[in-house]
Amino acid sequence: MMKRISLKDIAEQVGVSTALVSYVLNNKKEGRISKMVAQKIRETAKKLNYRTNQIAKSLKTNRTFTLGLIVADISNPFSSTLARIIEDEADKIQYTVIFGSSDENAQKFDKLINTFLNRQVDGLIISAPDHSEEQILYLMGQGIPFVLLDRYFPSIPTNYIALDNRQASIVAVDHLIKTGRRKIGMISYDTTLHHLLEREEGYKQSLKKNGIPLNEHWLKKVQISNTRENMEKVMDELLAMDEPIDGLLFASNTIASVGLRYLNTLEIKVPEELAVISYDETEALDLFYSPLIYIRQPLSEMGQKAVELLLKNLDGETTVQQLNLPAELIIRASTIPK
């Protein structure tokens, strides 16, 4: 690789100090530097194709303008859509994003945190996996600026941007009931992640509110690490009961995607025999033979607010902000009244 041009090279060519070159290129001390010299410096920088060494600059200024993004899995559309929004927001404030996937694994998550901190990221945006309280508390203890996104821990008083999951489930299940369903199942993950527990709570709450006693067999949980294998089993159970369910809520896009694929292979008619609502939108929903109703998370707003909140923290803001944004139920064909 060719030798990179440094401030020193420019300084030597122009016959000034590196300090002056630095001032000019950073537009510091404007007006207090002779126009002539300033112009000469800029010209020479251009001619030599000078490129700031951000590493050196970061070492000196103690700011890297880098943001660490930890998602569950960047190849999941939910994560990658958020990543894209965050990329765009970060770009607006001159930030670059480094990312990593935790695979819902607290240990991998811990490793990512460490890697990112070693790299001196200015802050982190985090979708935390199950059982990662310790790492979150560590970050707080160290005073590292970060914002939790999507997932959060009610016991930890820290910044987060998330959905109002309980309300989202309530609206969804209310809709199922309003369109004539009474035996409503839900498939969620076997997890202690609070946002999913809230989704389950909302489901139960809606049933209760509408005078439908909860049948405990209606609420199924599948392993996060083993979703595909588990789904067929629990769906068979839900559909093979004495009184099979006539409404179903999927708690995530992955659950929905796998579930719909399986439904495609069955004789069940959606929405006539089984009305389905899914959390999150994926293109899969549109291509299912009966376009699905879904709970749309305000991803753009979530990503924007997360970056905005992180930036506030980088700028010294210390008050904690917690946001549970409302979801929107997108109503299409899959729950026409019976």
User: Are 274 and 281 within 8 A, CB to CB?
Assistant: no
Yes or no: say if 173 and 207 are a contact pair by the CB < 8 Å rule: yes
Q: How far is the CB of 166 from a copy of itself (least distance, A)?
A: 28
Q: C-alpha distances in angstroms, 5 versus 17, 21, 38, 41, 138?
A: 15, 13, 18, 13, 40
The one of a copy of itself, DNA, none whose footprint includes residue 66, by CB under 5 to 8 A per kind, is: a copy of itself
302 in Cβ contact with 141 (< 8 Å): no
Shortest spacing between CB 85 and a copy of itself, in angstroms: 8
- The option from DNA, a copy of itself, none interacting with 226 (CB < 5 to 8 A, set by class) reads none
Report whether the peptide linkage leading into residue 271 is cis, meaning its omega lies within 30 degrees of zero: yes
- Per CB under 8 A, contacts with a copy of itself among 41-80 are 51-56, 58-59, 64, 66, 73-77, 79-80
> For the CA atoms of the chain, what is the radius of gyration?
26
Q: Binding to a copy of itself by residue 320, rule CB under 8 A?
A: no
Instruction: Decide: is 119 part of the binding site for a copy of itself (CB under 8 A).
Output: yes
Binding site for DNA (CB under 7 A): 4-8, 15-20, 22-23, 25-26, 28-29, 31-34, 36-38, 50-53, 56-57, 59-62
Rounded least distance, CB 51 to DNA, Å? 7
Of 56 and 336, which CB lies nearer to DNA in the complex structure? 56
- CB 329, min distance to a copy of itself, A: 21
> Is residue 97 near a copy of itself by the rule CB under 8 A?
yes
Q: In the set 9, 87, 174, 301, which binds a copy of itself (CB under 8 A)?
A: 87
Q: Which does 115 bind (CB under 5 to 8 A by kind): a copy of itself, DNA, none?
A: a copy of itself
- Residue 158 C-alpha from the chain's centroid: 16
Q: Which two tokens stand for residue 316?
A: 């010294």
What is d(CA 36, CA 193) in angstroms, rounded to the nearest whole number? 62
Q: Helices 18-25 and 35-47 sit at what angle, rounded to 10 degrees?
A: 90
Question: What's the min distance (Å) between Cβ of 288 and a copy of itself?
Answer: 5
For the chain, how far is it from start to end, CA to CA, in angstroms? 70
Judged by CB under 8 A, the number of residues near a copy of itself is 53
Strands of 51-183, DSSP E:
66-71, 96-101, 123-126, 146-149, 160-163
Give me the residues that bind a copy of itself (CB under 8 A), please.
1-2, 51-56, 58-59, 64, 66, 73-77, 79-81, 83-84, 87, 91, 96-101, 114-120, 142-145, 257, 260-261, 264, 282-289
